[in-house]
Amino acid sequence: EEISDLKERLAILEAQDNQLSIEIEEESRLIHSYGCELPSLSTLSTNELQDLNKILEDVLPLRNKILFTVKQPEDTKRLQKKEQSLSIAIKTANTKVFNSQKLCSNLSKKVSGIEAQLPTLLEAKMLAISGREFSTAKDLAEEIKYLTSEKTRFEEFISELRHLNIKNAQRVEAIREDYSSLRTELELEEGLFENNLKENVFKYMEVLEDKLHSYESQLLEKVWEADLEACQIFVRGLQLKEGNYHASEREEFQADEDNKAIEDACTEVKVTKDSVFPSKQDWCANPCSPNQKETDPSEVSVKCSFSIKDIQSEVTYNKGSAVDIGEECEMISDRLLYLEGQLQMAINNHDNSFSQYLQREIQMVKETLQAMLKQLLPLEKEELRNFVINSW
């Protein structure tokens, strides 16, 4: 057994020896090839070595300066991490606000459903009492009591969610302000870092080009040419980045034009909404008479939502299918309708602070819808083109 173990170890050692021999041969061939291409330093004279040393003293500091400044500073990395965390916090807070408002909308629909049932149940109860069907009247009374308690519970829950939404919206606004200031600081730091690196690269390129033309050294020519090519690639990368930046500026300008067109359309929607929802002064100055029928909130919601639904039918979202974005637009439309209904209630109750908050929320929802609409049109054009192609 010991002999067999020794044989195995000997085989392993022989394999390692063969591998090392192969690597040594490869290194020897590589060194030999370099020796054929470049002259040995031992063949240079003292004056040539002094000139070479002086040239390297001029070139190496600039090269090392680039190598030391190519990595971003720790402060910039720290700001980038903080920016990512704030971005996640904004998304999380927006999700909470949206989910809470969606829950408020669902609860309001339940309250409206209960309010629609109560008059019918009361009428049925009175008919049962007049018909001496006291058992049925008792059951109806219990059902009315239960629905009334549920309505009260839902309204209390809606009130709590409303105040929570205000706090969450304020928190989102504070986070957005922090993110905006942080983003400005980060862009400044990144700009300084990039300008410093660009300046060092241009200086190094000037020195390399000068040395390549003024000093002929086969020993350094290949190294300098490789460094010069790397610097040229870096400069081309910066030019492409600047080109993309200017292209994004043009897109933003076009987006501003599109937003202006959308704002013009939304102005018409606002005029329609203002005609449906009078101002607080008009509401107070023209109260409903006893014989005048009040406007049903559901009817008002339908009137206010037509423009949004018309716009939704004209555009689609380029990051998803038309069906998916249709559902998202429907959710945003429901949210807008709910907020407008709450605004009407706040105006009726003369709640100025809550009315102002609702107006800000409605404006935020409209801005979100505008941002979606701006990106929806390309996908609808693509779907229309595919439809025409498929029809042929």
32-64 confidence digits (pLDDT tens):
655 544 455 556 667 766 777 777 777 777 777
Span 325-333, mean pLDDT?
68
Instruction: Find the range with the poorest average confidence among 11-15, 226-230, 345-349.
Output: 345-349
**43: which 2 tokens?**
């063949």
The answer to whether the beta carbons of residues 288 and 294 sit under 8 Å apart is: yes
What are the structure tokens assigned to 133, written together?
């069907």
Which of the given ranges, 106-115, 282-291, 343-352, has the highest pLDDT on average?
A: 106-115
Coil, helix or strand at residue 16: helix
CA atoms within 13 A on the CB side of 301: 17
Q: Exposed, middle or buried by CB within 10 Å (0-12, 13-18, 19+), for 346?
A: buried
DSSP 319: T
Residue 252 confidence (pLDDT): 52
Cβ within 8 Å of residue 301, ≥6 positions away: 337, 340, 341
pLDDT of 309 above 60: no
Q: Which long-range contacts (CB under 8 A, 24 or more apart) does 260-268 make?
A: 262/370, 262/373, 262/374, 263/370, 265/307, 265/311, 266/307, 266/366, 266/370, 268/307
Q: What is the mean pLDDT of the chain?
A: 70
The burial of 100, by beta-carbon neighbours within 10 Å (0-12 exposed, 13-18 middle, 19 or more buried), is given as middle
- Residue 310 pLDDT grade (very low, low, confident, very high; cuts 50, 70, 90): very low
Q: Which residue has the higher pLDDT, 13 or 41?
A: 13
pLDDT at residue 362 tops 50: yes
- Structure-model confidence comparison of residues 15 and 278, the more confident one: 15
Closest CA to 140 of 127, 150, 153, 154: 127
Residues of the chain above pLDDT 70, percent: 63
